[in-house]
Structure 1
């Protein structure tokens, strides 16, 4: 079991760009849809033009969640996404099939930690950062990493969660809704002012998974944070994850 406090948050999705919009959405959730893209004014234009839509969303949420110290502090960052910018990887594979030369820039920006690196460079962040993926338990894995960093002495850890739709060729493998969205949480040790959360886990009785609902799990967890619901349970691959409030 781990416990921590969420001292602040920021999020971006099509049609949900303001904090009050997210609070209303938590009371009556819906699947975000639309073609919008964050302006990302915090990043210089020459760097911004290299960032695809998913990266802009993730970096925008991270920028909005910076505290008064800004990004150039030693606050560790955990970037998490089930699939990352897989659309860019598919473009590279298409170039290979067509026997076309690969773009070195495109290749460099297709790796899973590319968005985290772009944020670090653009904002002058000097702290530790990592990028991870853990299937349907990606958000739990990210929070476990953050809890470990807090236990090692970090005063705060920022978790950035971001997702996008799978390319059509992979649509048959989609096991939950997959809209564009990104959120960032500022995590601090349990007892810090904020929203106290507890995560416990245990083996599930079977190897099935929670039936897909209206929202992907990571976005549903953000809804849970903003709502007054006491608990949220998620079962995947033989593991039961139990979220609750404390403090």
Structure 2
């Protein structure tokens, strides 16, 4: 089992415009109404990089910056784990579309943005961070894999780690082969020791059991959870919202095929 402490949370998705604005929806206190997530280039980036930033970068920068600001941490001092199932779908579509023509000249900027760790590169430029960074993908379990990687770095190395996860839909015709619902990103700042800023304590374990996977009570949020790989985080985010409102500890079960589970006990912050 690995124990980590949550200092900050970032969130952006359909009808979920930031962590503070979304907590009431996640706890059931306000109705969920899906509306498109608005992406904007990060003001942290220099003008040239801001112009070149693609939707994936905008999403990752937005949720990462929100979580780090809530944690009160200097981003330059925090290690990062970036997790995404697909990278930047628009860029991949554009490259494949170009390769299907006779000229087949690929823009260097498009090629640069097609690399899976492009958001990590933009992040390091924006924040001047030279701490370790990992970029990973594990298909529909990318958030779960990112959570395990981040927690392992916290537990084994004693680092404070920012987990930044994000997924966006593909344009057609790729969407037919790999459908992804909406634009969804989330970020968690995880620490090895509790601080005065901690929001919750997480005990994370891997099992081979048959525990039922946690789901969302609201049908709209459940559709988002099953339709977007990063939105598999929604039950954990909902538990964090409830515990943050003074609720009792909860256990969240996330799927990890084949046959595995990530079991997360969400408790009140340790002091």
Q: TM-score range by the shorter chain?
A: 0.7 to 0.9
**Over aligned residue pairs, what C-alpha RMSD do you find?**
2.8
Q: Distance in 2 between matches of 1:246 and 1:237?
A: 28
Aligned equivalent of 1:242: 263
Residue ranges of structure 2 left out of the alignment (5+ in a row) = 217-221, 226-231, 244-248
Residue ranges of structure 1 left out of the alignment (5+ in a row) = none
Normalising by structure 2, we get a TM-score of 0.78
Contact preservation (8 Å) 1:13, 1:181: yes
Which deviations, in whole Å up to 9, do the C-alpha atoms of 1:185-235 show, x marking residues without a partner? 1101254543011222222559x9889932321234323322347122233
Aligned partner (choices 233, 239, 244) of residue 218 of structure 1: 233
Q: Distance in 2 between matches of 1:166 and 1:30?
A: 24
Matched, 1:86 2:56: no
Contact preservation (8 Å) 2:213, 2:253: no
Q: Distance in 1 between matches of 2:210 and 2:158?
A: 36
Q: Distance in 2 between matches of 1:35 and 1:197?
A: 28
Figure out how many residues of one structure are paired with residues of the other and give that number: 244
Aligned equivalent of 2:20: 20
Q: Distance in 1 between matches of 2:185 and 2:127?
A: 18
Q: Distance in 1 between matches of 2:24 and 2:205?
A: 28
Aligned equivalent of 1:121: 125
Q: Distance in 2 between matches of 1:141 and 1:80?
A: 8
Could you say if the C-alpha distance between residues 195 and 41 of structure 1 is closer, same or farther in structure 2, counting changes exceeding 3 Å? Answer: same
- Structure with more helix by fraction: 2
Normalising by structure 1, we get a TM-score of 0.85
SS in 2 for 1:61: helix
Matched, 1:182 2:191: no
Q: Distance in 1 between matches of 2:116 and 2:170?
A: 15
Please show how residues 63-74 of structure 1 align to structure 2 within 5 Å: 63-66=65-68, 67-73=71-77
Aligned equivalent of 2:246: none
Contact preservation (8 Å) 2:79, 2:159: no
